[in-house]
Structure 1
Amino acid sequence: MQLSDSTYSEITTLCKQGDALVEAGDLDLGKQKYISALRLLPENHREWEAATWIYVAIGDVHYRLQNYDKAFKCFFNAVQCPKRLGNPYIHLRLGQLHYEQENFEKAADELTRAYMGAGIDIFMEDDPKYLEFLETNIEI
């Protein structure tokens, strides 16, 4: 299934605006742009590929705000959408969120998946504690 060109264009415009706002430090307004984009998807929005990256964007905002429960829900929703399996970035965030919730077994599993999919570079922009934790679980 594909979105209409006009709906897809509107969604991508809102997400680009959200990205710019988040990059400028206005996380709440950026999140509102992403939510507006999500609302443009037809019913059963989890069936649309766009929902995957919109949920990731919203989840990232919550992660940066240290709203780990909300971030986890967003990333959990993202894995219910198309093209999510094997996505190293989604596995990275899920691993980090499991770590923050002290669910270390699942954290190790998800962080390993991120490492296997993208290598060590995927860990370089975040707190080194996640890579240090992973190094206690697998040989890097």
Structure 2
Amino acid sequence: MRDGRRNKKTVNGKLSPRFAKKVIRKTAKGNRIESYGNAKRAEKIWRRAYNAIPEPKNQFEQSVWLEIFLGDIFFSSQIYAEALPFFQSAYSNISGKGKSNPYVHLRLGACLLETGQHDEAIDHLWRAYQMEDRQFFRGTDLKYLDFLKSNLNLSM
């Protein structure tokens, strides 16, 4: 207790408005720093924000964005085995924000493919494709779209 007030992170199963704003500010700060090319420093800021979110983290939608950012740090460095758990956590978030996000499916599918889990990769890459279409794959390595096409006999 500080000054007679409790510093609560959650209210009724959600992050308190005050704490949620703090997480959003830290996330935005990490985004700014990362946009200037300092991924290591951004990662530290995102990790602090992520670690501050109470357990179970998959209960809070704010976790999804931080998991995406942290996963992308490893994905862009081609450390797919490290990126994979972040995208799996984002996908399994009970808020539904991960399951309805085509980017989560794309990155999860890519990580699964890169770690040799082809059947699961097909499932998530197909979901990303269904949610968006092949244009969505343009900013990524086309091998993921080619893999999907060859495994589902798609003519695109």
Give me the TM-score of the superposition, normalised by structure 2.
Answer: 0.82
Match of 1:75 in 2: 87
Corresponding residue number in structure 2 for 1:94:
108
- Report how far residue 114 of structure 1 moved: 0.5
Distance 1:52 1:135 in 2: 28
Superposed counterparts of 1:1-140, under 5 Å: 1-81=13-93, 82-83=95-96, 84-138=98-152, 139=154, 140=156
CA offsets per residue over residues 55-81 of structure 1, 9 Å max, x none? 111111111111111100111111221
* Letter paired with 1:37: A
CA contact (8 A) 1:7 1:40 kept: no
- Quote the offset at 1:13 in angstroms: 0.9
Cα distance in 2, alignment partners of residues 21 and 44 from structure 1 = 28
| Larger Rg computed on CA atoms | 2
Structure with more contact order per residue of length (Cα contacts < 8 Å, sep ≥ 6): 1
Q: Percent identity?
A: 28
1:96 to 1:12, Cα distance in 2 relative to 1, 3 A: same
For the aligned residues, what is the CA RMSD? 1.4
CA distance in 1, matches of 2:129, 2:56: 32
Matched residue pairs, number? 140
Please state whether the residue corresponding to 2:14 is helix, strand or coil: coil
- 8 Å CA contact retained: 2:91, 2:105: no
Length-normalised TM-score, structure 1: 0.91
1: CA distance, partners of 2:54 / 2:112: 31
Hey, what's the Cα distance between the residues in 1 that align with 2:121 and 2:133? 16
What are structure 2's unaligned runs of at least 5 residues? Answer: 1-12
